[in-house]
Amino acid sequence: MNKLMTVENVDICCGLSWGDEAKGKLVTELIRKKRYDFVCRWSGGSNAGHTVYFNGHKYHTHIIPSGVFYGVSSVIGPDCYLNIEDFMNEISYLNNHGFDTSIVKISPRTHIISNEHKEEDLLKYKEKQGTTGKGIAPCARDKYGRVGKMFKDILEDNDILKSYLWDEYLHGNVLCEGAQGFWLDINYGNYPYITSSTTLPYSACSLGFPPQRIRDIYGAAKIYDTRVGIDPDFPDSLLEDTTLNEIALVGNEFGTTTGRARKVNWLDTDRLIKAINISGCTHIIISKTDVLEKVGRFRILNSDMEYRDLDELQKVINEILMPSCPLLKRIVYSNSAEGIEDL
Q: pLDDT by residue for the chain (343 residues), tens digit each?
A: 455 458 999 999 999 999 989 898 899 999 999 999 999 999 988 877 778 888 888 898 999 999 999 999 999 999 999 999 999 999 999 999 999 999 999 999 999 999 999 999 888 766 655 567 789 999 999 999 999 999 999 999 899 999 999 999 999 999 999 999 999 999 999 998 988 889 999 999 999 999 999 999 999 999 999 998 889 988 888 989 999 999 999 999 986 666 678 899 999 999 999 999 999 999 999 999 999 999 999 999 999 999 999 999 999 999 999 999 999 999 999 997 666 767 7
Which is catalytic among the residues 20, 79, 142, 231? 20
Integer Cα distance of 23 and 21 in angstroms: 6
Contact 229, 257 (CB under 8 A): no
Q: At what angle do helices 115-129 and 136-144 cross, to 10 degrees?
A: 110
Helix (H, G, I), strand (E, B) or coil at 306: coil
In this structure, CATH architecture of domain 3-333: 3-Layer(aba) Sandwich (3.40)
Distances in whole angstroms, Cα of residue 33 to Cα of each of 27, 53, 282: 10, 15, 17
CA–centroid distance for 263 within its chain: 18
Q: Catalytic site residue 233?
A: no
Torsion of CA 127, 131, 137, 138, to 10 degrees: 50
Residue 4's pLDDT is what? 46
Residue 237's pLDDT is what? 86
Helix (H, G, I), strand (E, B) or coil at 173: strand
pTM of the model: 0.93
Integer Cα distance of 256 and 49 in angstroms: 5
The residue type found at 46 is S
Distances in whole angstroms, Cα of residue 155 to Cα of each of 83, 100, 151: 14, 22, 7
Element (H, E) at 293: helix 289-295
Contact 282, 217 (CB under 8 A): yes
Residue 1's pLDDT is what? 47
Which is catalytic among the residues 50, 62, 117, 283? 50
Integer Cα distance of 50 and 65 in angstroms: 9
Q: In terms of Cα–Cα distance, which of 144, 146, 110, 140 is closest to 125?
A: 140
Contact 207, 78 (CB under 8 A): yes
Per-domain residue ranges of the chain: 3-333
Distances in whole angstroms, Cα of residue 119 to Cα of each of 116, 123, 133, 154, 197: 5, 6, 8, 20, 19
Residue 260's pLDDT is what? 75
Q: Catalytic site residue 57?
A: no
Residue 339's pLDDT is what? 66
Integer Cα distance of 319 and 322 in angstroms: 6
